[in-house]
Homo-oligomer: A and B are copies of this chain.
Amino acid sequence: MKRRQFLRSAGSAGVLTAGATIGQSALAAAPVVKWRLASSFPKSLDTIWGVAPLLAKRVFELTEGRFEIKTFAAGEIVPGLQVADAVQNKTVEVGHTASYYYVGKDSTFAFETVLPFGLSARQQNAWLYSGGGLELIRDFLKGYNIISFPGGNTGTQMGGWWRKEVNSLADLKGLKVRMPGFGGKIMAALGAVPQTIAAADIYPSLEKGTIDAAEWVGPYDDEKLGFHKVAKYYYYPGFWEPGPNLSFYVNLDAWNALPKLYQSAFEVAAVEANMAMTTAYDAKNPAAMARLLKAGAQLRLFPRELLDAAYVEAEKLYAQESKSNPKFRKIFESWNRFRNDEQNWFRIAETPLAGYIPRTK
């Protein structure tokens, strides 16, 4: 901790009486800091929501309770989609959110979460932590007075629940598909009609046939919403979300005011939260998928021509955005180079072994 930070915080922590009594906290001389965290997610999405309290618990432990982060679910302080604003305005010091919720402000927000046909969970971590990605993201987010930390990845998502089979690209025409963001734009280019529908309205809309399909996350989360009861075809892969990364957004002034020790605690706890979300999903998804299949869900692979057409539309989108938005272009250049390198490398040892199916199975 720097001397100035220490002096600034010493008053509130009562430093002159603290620290030296046997049996007292080792950190008693450190300042008390209380933050509020607004999540974009409901507690029912327990795997995503859960890493916010996990982060808070670790930070609390590492500072012996002197740095306390109280966690609030979506809607408790601000609606889920207003978390970035709340952090920017310091309504809360920290948010747990998906960066791509804010592409309406600037399409550049997409990179920190995921882009169609982009990076897998492992590749996204590699880009962010070791490929220069996080520096670029943080540079962009300075304009919003935010610093970001990777905060969990779901892995490749499923392609959602469809009321009818999609056997060709032509079958997409006119279908009303609940799909936000770039995925929705690609669906529109392919002839479908993307719909924006809040989570709670998806089930009744699918049931009535007001919409024809809806994407959500993957087996563990989808099962809870019961979509398989009203749209039995479960498509894969969710090519628009190969490895979506969530983020801890921190107000930059609040961050800069933290003692160095607390910054270190937050930073390392965020890495743990990131790891924990993916391992939790990977451990929970297989059993959920087995239950869904038992309940009548029908697995279907998107037709190859649909994937190929979607890929072409995705590349067109990136070219357009790069042309119209210099911030998007700057990050796209790093991201796209990294993506090509990673995908070529993973096609060698990693994916062929993962895809190997023994004759005996």
Contacts and interface: CB of A to CB of B under 8 A. Distances in A.
A236 B17 CA distance: 64
Given A289-B348, A350-B120, A129 B279 contact: yes
Contacts of A15: 20, 22
Contacts of A265: 62
Contacts of A238: 349, 353
Tell me if A's interface is mostly helix, strand, loop or mixed. Answer: helix
Contacts of A121: 122
For chain A, give the interface size range.
Answer: 35 or more
Contact of A350 (B10, B128, B155, B349): B155
A1 to B, nearest CB: 6
Nearest to A239: B353
Given A238-B349, A282-B342, A61 B23 contact: no
A126 B29 contact: no
A318 interface: no
B7 A25 contact: no
Given A261-B62, A282-B130, A24 B29 contact: yes
Given A157-B349, A272-B271, A282 B237 contact: no
Contacts of A7: 22-23
Copies of the chain in the assembly: 2
Contacts of A259: 26
A78 interface: no
Contacts of A289: 344-345, 348
Given A20-B15, A120-B354, A279 B347 contact: no
B6 A268 contact: no
Interface stretch (A82-90, A198-206, A305-313): A305-313
B355 A347 contact: yes
A17 B20 CA distance: 7
Nearest to A355: B351
Counting from the closest, the 8 A-B pairs by CB-CB distance are A19-B19, A26-B30, A126-B282, A286-B341, A237-B353, A130-B283, A130-B279, A286-B345
A108 interface: no
A231 interface: no
Interface of A: 1, 3, 6-7, 10, 15-20, 22-31, 58, 61-62, 64, 117, 120-123, 125-131, 155-159, 218-219, 236-239, 242, 259-261, 264-265, 268-269, 271-272, 274-276, 278-280, 282-287, 289, 299, 301, 307-308, 311-312, 315, 341-360
B345 A126 contact: no
A312 B264 contact: no
B27 A20 contact: no
A62 B121 CA distance: 28
11 contacts: A1-B25, A6-B22, A25-B29, A26-B30, A62-B268, A125-B275, A125-B278, A127-B283, A238-B353, A285-B345, A354-B354
Contacts of A287: 341
